Structure 1
């Protein structure tokens, strides 16, 4: 792979010299062409974006080069008569040389026909799914889902794509989990985004699927990665074509549920690369149906009562995300790259709910009341990266420095109005305006030294500085207006600083054995300052060290079978959402509050995996055990003072031991059909700490799973059809269960103009207007059964068009950069946005 980049660097140098010296040198003025088609030797499929370099026969200096098109074809024009050598390269394949290739004045064109390129044994060890455009790749340290090959995702957003990624599940609210664990760190192009740290689920809904190239799943991160995120890492790679010349594409979709568009432009010349990308997403107003049944039990039996509710919630969302990047290669050893990614989005919820209250022993107190919540939410910010890489003369020996500034801002405004209450002071009308700002500064250095063919050493250090500020202003009704409420209004400052250092040693042994061993040490320092004009609340501090070892043993049983045993340790730091001591009253009947005394979760995972590759089919099996201490969950209790409603408090509830197994595979039973599927099943067995056993109502061992199945059919005349289905079981907590989730979709696409233009139609849940999601919670003093019906059915039309002329790959795009796989998912960053009924807004 490194030879590939070096080769392309030489090609670019040759391209710059071509204008001065010409291609063929002296000789006759007649010119011709060398052409052919590059084909994978195993699958017999054409290989697009393979590199073809032209040399003098027996020479070492490249003259020119091209990349193959979508059908594997290449053409080298303006070739003067002579003897030449071709070098054909592709990542994961050894370079193939054809020497000589001769053209003459009488026969100026050399047509090579099909040229077979065979994968290397190393590539086979990585068990790459070839055949139908390599939708899934299984590598030593990660699983890669190539979303750009997913037909049914067109017209959707990042949440829709994540539904189909092996081992990944997404619930109705956009919460992402890997193997059932929501402590996932989501990166964009290998870097954290201030947008995702502020409001992950909302931002994922604003990223058009057409903007996503691939998604990487890292289940057992080595010590090189940050320790945060017990479930692992998701890395969303956007489409950034590293090719010479000018190129671009536009795509989009219009549907009954959502509309989106995306465009990108790329320009690479010699050692300079420039690119820009912008995408947007907008939904039509969507009305959901809600209902719930609740029973409340108090010390005074006369207060025992039940409450039923029915309502509607109407939401419209919009978002835009874009980036601009530039890179320059000073020479073959030094590269500088910078990029700025901007995002802006928002949603405006409006809900109306009717409540009926029934007392068990005193029917005279029965009553009904109504609640109207109106919200306005916006979020936005930017990520600015500067990355410098220095490569030494020894192949693979390099040093990199990276910096990043992530800035995000969230504004959450909502008004909650009640009518019909017997006691208006029970749930007074209120208005809340929240402004939150999150600044994150990261400084990182990484060093890689291939000592010899057996040993490779990697080491580095990182400093992450987080500064989060939020202001929450409450207002009470005063006549027809609202006045400032100093009792509930608050300001909150949260500072977190992380220092980290790591070292990883890779050992390549005989007979197909390899070892990846590492260690990481992190220090976390936290300082929080809650402020209220009326209450006296003390600041809080935390400081702890975490030692993170990692070990991976791999054995290549055959060129197509690999066995891997991995151990990893991860932590989940409680961040702002979980530490904020101020009560979140965005939903007065379902409040929440943070806990400044929370400790981090610590999980240890042992995983045994087996991969096999048979022609165009792949099978991956794994079994794992995860032990988690300090498990963080929200515990529900009744509101104090006999009020009707609940309050959720975050606690380190105890220990969880989980056993699991996963499978995914792809098979091509006939040439035109590919079937892919995955399933992950695991247990949930919580053991509450002594002081919380009285709050635990779920004490059994629970079986949970998520599954995915798809089929793609390649038809004549450039038609492609695909269908998929997703099923996730209900998720357990120590007090109940969260909703199960399923989705079904189908799509058809027609390609035109040598596949540069594509038009398609797709349908999601075509047979039902709404999808129902049920939640059950039980505590010693409270039971709840609730239903949420979301309008999921949609039909859409999609299109994509690529333009420009691509001539060659840019060799020096630095792969280093900031990679803060850090912080517990669900943290809403500065301001805790979310709006009424979402659990946000603090």
Structure 2
């Protein structure tokens, strides 16, 4: 399977490559660029957003152009050697014409330097030009949340950012769901990351908010995307400066909950670009108070205590890219990260089976660590025909986790020590081609993912007096799992009658999986399986007057389980609540229908949609009472529960009632109705027969005051999260941020407050099965105060727009902390 996938992609790559070089179409013409900076003649300050038009020398018909940035700098690319006429214009200024501007084969680039614009004597007394990007943008296939424009995001992490993104819901543990479904794929800069194959909630806490530029929520992915993610895709885009020169930024925050630091350094010189980023996050030790009760047929369990969790994370990246000419470019990026947390706790527990009652004190030291690196390489070739191009990409990803714990019981003279080393390794090859016809854009491509997962589990009893160890029967094994995916897709996009837009496509994915355990275990049997799935997608949109758009879409999606769900390692650090993956899980299949409406009227933005989603073989956590060693425990695992039919509605609105004030609101409502089709699952029929309504909403207001002072406030509300066995805690929070620009808008100082009137918050969950009930309550520190600082440095010129490159693996169901056990931890914040 691996050899076949590689041969297919190698054939496609060879065909594409030989079609572009000598013998296949002639050599490409090397082109250059024209740059400059527009300056006000009186104030000597940059004229931002001035219009720059390019035409042939002595001619007035524009053939190209650019828009100056906020520093007055502009750049026009793809300039062939010749003589040109440059026209610079802006409201309130007299136009400036420079003719001729000549580039030659020996000097392809021409820098005009500072271009002085003089105010027009007939201009209005005052002209205000607004070029500010809004916090939230509505696009035809996605919603974009511009995190760098959000004052309240400073000092937090990615979890805090996602809580404020329309359509998304994030619970108190950091588990993310899209329109009520946790089956969502998270990408970083359009690419997967091996660290997400583990516990996604923990991985997101390791990304400082100051690194994030924006977040894209894609609810109707085309067939070009991997078929993974039954509810859609979340793409987190990090900051990258594409301006020419040396530039960078420093961001830091210190707070009562967590601390962040981040450094960006970028070098752009001609056709060469280098980018780097280093960041870290540290959370002060936070104490969570636990109360747990479980009872059922013949048993009663209770547990209470305190656990202290401390988190530390670091990440970085290096990127190189080079444009040989207008038509050929390469890039290479290496990303790495480290995330760890430690939990120490003491709990008082009682366990009763029949008339046999036991009481004991449990002390636990749990250490978790995750290391990950991703190496991406790609080549892009553009043809002379506008929009025609192909790209070849390869990615190597390696993510490793280490989970160690030591547990001691007051009634047992022996300590239990266990560790689990998990490795997720992937090699990906991808080829994409785009061809524009007269009225149709055709995309076609192929992809191969070779994935290997290894889990090494060890558990022993240790005698503290002499350190002698005794292996625990059935809990020492090595589990190997391989999953190879070969895919091909094709899409067509076209417009009819200038008002109707269509994008249709299909994707076929073939999956080959194998699993084996040494020694063989009942919970991890050896198996092999393969299957193919065809995934169609279609989007139809119609534009009306006054910027109104109606969109109807359908897509089929698949969700394969990742290491988090498959890992058979059994974590028994808690004597009454234990967890274990399920290697026999099958993928989910969903069908998604959506009808959406959006409009823009003056300063008001409205986006509303209704949707229906049918998910077969849905994967959910399942808690089952298991009696072992004269004690009944709650064992959490995962299973294909059945089918879920979900109807939903989403509304987002933004308005500027006055110039300085922006109000935004978002509301998601969706239904949850599970049809359990596995009779062996421990379910309560009275719960699975019901239809539940879930919601999440936010209201925000931002005020832009003179002299660069901004105030912003968010209120977030999430309903309890349903599972087929019960519900997990709801979530709400209030965030207020203050920011003052300093250093001539190159820096800022800020203050962030999170729930100032709630020192701690309680989060309760309840589960009910056919023969048991279980309740859990966590009390965790919540109130947070933090200060943050940001500074941008460097002398820059306008750069070319960045090119979208690289592999995009979005084909695995990523882990969360489900609806069962937890060891505490914290909410993002300062």
TM-score by length of 2: 0.85
Alignment correspondent of 1:377: 368
Q: Paired residue for 1:783, among 767, 773, 790?
A: 773
* 1:666–1:674 CA contact under 8 A, matched in 2: yes
Matched residue of 2:161: which SS? helix
1:196 positional shift: 1.7
Q: Report the CA distance shift for 1:292/1:742 in structure 2 as closer, same or farther (over 3 A).
A: same
Q: Report the CA distance shift for 1:321/1:366 in structure 2 as closer, same or farther (over 3 A).
A: same
1:673 positional shift: 0.4
Matches within 5 A, 1:521-540: 521-532=508-519, 538-540=525-527
Alignment correspondent of 1:758: 748
* 1:517–1:550 CA contact under 8 A, matched in 2: yes
Q: Paired residue for 2:433, among 432, 447, 459?
A: 447
1:373 positional shift: 1.3
1:75 positional shift: 9.5
Alignment correspondent of 2:810: 821
Alignment correspondent of 2:552: 565
**1:286 & 1:410 partners in 2: Cα distance?**
23
1:257 positional shift: 0.3
**1:75 & 1:566 partners in 2: Cα distance?**
38
Matched, 1:318 2:312: yes
* 1:36–1:115 CA contact under 8 A, matched in 2: no
* 1:247–1:805 CA contact under 8 A, matched in 2: yes
Matches within 5 A, 1:478-489: 478-480=463-465, 481=467, 483-485=469-471, 487=473, 488-489=475-476
Alignment correspondent of 1:653: 641
1:645 positional shift: 1.3
Alignment correspondent of 1:588: 575
Matched residue of 1:578: which SS? helix
1:295 positional shift: 1.3
* Cα offsets for 1:617-649 (capped at 9, x unmatched): 200000001111111122222113562211234
* 2:305–2:345 CA contact under 8 A, matched in 1: yes
Matched, 1:804 2:794: yes
Alignment correspondent of 1:432: 418
Q: Report the CA distance shift for 1:86/1:35 in structure 2 as closer, same or farther (over 3 A).
A: farther
**2:804 & 2:602 partners in 1: Cα distance?**
31
* Cα offsets for 1:687-725 (capped at 9, x unmatched): 111524762341210000111111100112211001101
Alignment correspondent of 1:144: 144
Instruction: Report the more deviating stretch, 551-560 or 570-579.
Output: 570-579
Matched residue of 1:518: which SS? strand
1:810 positional shift: 2.6
* Cα offsets for 1:653-699 (capped at 9, x unmatched): 11111110001111101101001111110000111115247623412
* Cα offsets for 1:708-749 (capped at 9, x unmatched): 111100112211001101111011111110110111111111
Matches within 5 A, 1:132-531: 133-297=133-297, 304-357=298-351, 362=355, 365-420=356-411, 424=412, 429-452=415-438, 454-480=439-465, 481=467, 483-485=469-471, 487=473, 488-531=475-518
1:818 positional shift: 0.6
Q: Paired residue for 1:13, among 20, 26, 33?
A: 33
* 1:458–1:503 CA contact under 8 A, matched in 2: yes
1:585 positional shift: 2.5
- Unaligned runs of 5+ residues in structure 2 are 1-28, 76-82, 101-114, 124-129, 826-830
Q: Report the CA distance shift for 1:578/1:667 in structure 2 as closer, same or farther (over 3 A).
A: same
**2:59 & 2:371 partners in 1: Cα distance?**
54
Matches within 5 A, 1:63-82: 68=68, 70=70, 73=72
Q: Report the CA distance shift for 1:517/1:132 in structure 2 as closer, same or farther (over 3 A).
A: same
Q: Report the CA distance shift for 1:655/1:109 in structure 2 as closer, same or farther (over 3 A).
A: closer
| Matched positions, count | 758
Alignment correspondent of 1:6: none
Matched residue of 1:799: which SS? strand
Matched residue of 2:811: which SS? coil
Matches within 5 A, 1:544-555: 544-555=531-542
Q: Report the CA distance shift for 1:135/1:224 in structure 2 as closer, same or farther (over 3 A).
A: same
1:835 positional shift: 8.9
1:757 positional shift: 1.4
1:56 positional shift: 7.7
- Unaligned runs of 5+ residues in structure 1 are 1-8, 24-31, 38-45, 77-81, 90-95, 117-129, 298-303, 829-833
Matched, 1:111 2:118: yes
* Cα offsets for 1:57-80 (capped at 9, x unmatched): 64699999997454x75699xxxx
Matched residue of 1:155: which SS? coil
1:48 positional shift: 5.8
**2:243 & 2:542 partners in 1: Cα distance?**
36
1:198 positional shift: 2.9
* 1:587–1:837 CA contact under 8 A, matched in 2: no
Q: Report the CA distance shift for 1:502/1:619 in structure 2 as closer, same or farther (over 3 A).
A: same
* Cα offsets for 1:81-100 (capped at 9, x unmatched): x99632689xxxxxx99674
Matched residue of 1:639: which SS? strand
Q: Report the CA distance shift for 1:56/1:772 in structure 2 as closer, same or farther (over 3 A).
A: same
**2:122 & 2:462 partners in 1: Cα distance?**
78
Q: Report the CA distance shift for 1:630/1:98 in structure 2 as closer, same or farther (over 3 A).
A: farther
1:826 positional shift: 0.5
Matched, 1:577 2:564: yes
* Cα offsets for 1:238-284 (capped at 9, x unmatched): 00011111111111100000000111111111111111111111011
**2:553 & 2:64 partners in 1: Cα distance?**
44
Alignment correspondent of 1:4: none
Q: Report the CA distance shift for 1:140/1:87 in structure 2 as closer, same or farther (over 3 A).
A: farther
Q: Report the CA distance shift for 1:336/1:101 in structure 2 as closer, same or farther (over 3 A).
A: closer
Q: Report the CA distance shift for 1:47/1:693 in structure 2 as closer, same or farther (over 3 A).
A: farther
1:47 positional shift: 9.7
* 1:11–1:63 CA contact under 8 A, matched in 2: no
* 2:49–2:72 CA contact under 8 A, matched in 1: no
* 1:12–1:271 CA contact under 8 A, matched in 2: no
Q: Report the CA distance shift for 1:500/1:63 in structure 2 as closer, same or farther (over 3 A).
A: closer
* 1:387–1:403 CA contact under 8 A, matched in 2: yes
* 1:551–1:568 CA contact under 8 A, matched in 2: yes
Matched residue of 1:516: which SS? strand
1:306 positional shift: 2.6
Alignment correspondent of 1:747: 737
* 2:430–2:448 CA contact under 8 A, matched in 1: yes
Q: Report the CA distance shift for 1:296/1:387 in structure 2 as closer, same or farther (over 3 A).
A: same
Matches within 5 A, 1:731-746: 731-746=721-736
**2:516 & 2:122 partners in 1: Cα distance?**
67
Matched residue of 2:712: which SS? strand
* 2:480–2:515 CA contact under 8 A, matched in 1: yes
* 1:569–1:605 CA contact under 8 A, matched in 2: yes
Matched, 1:618 2:618: no
* 1:36–1:73 CA contact under 8 A, matched in 2: no
Matched, 1:678 2:666: yes
* 1:374–1:836 CA contact under 8 A, matched in 2: no
* 2:198–2:814 CA contact under 8 A, matched in 1: no
Matches within 5 A, 1:52-71: 52=52, 58=58, 68=68, 70=70
Matched, 1:716 2:717: no
* 1:58–1:85 CA contact under 8 A, matched in 2: no
Instruction: Report the more deviating stretch, 642-651 or 137-146.
Output: 642-651
Alignment correspondent of 1:728: 718
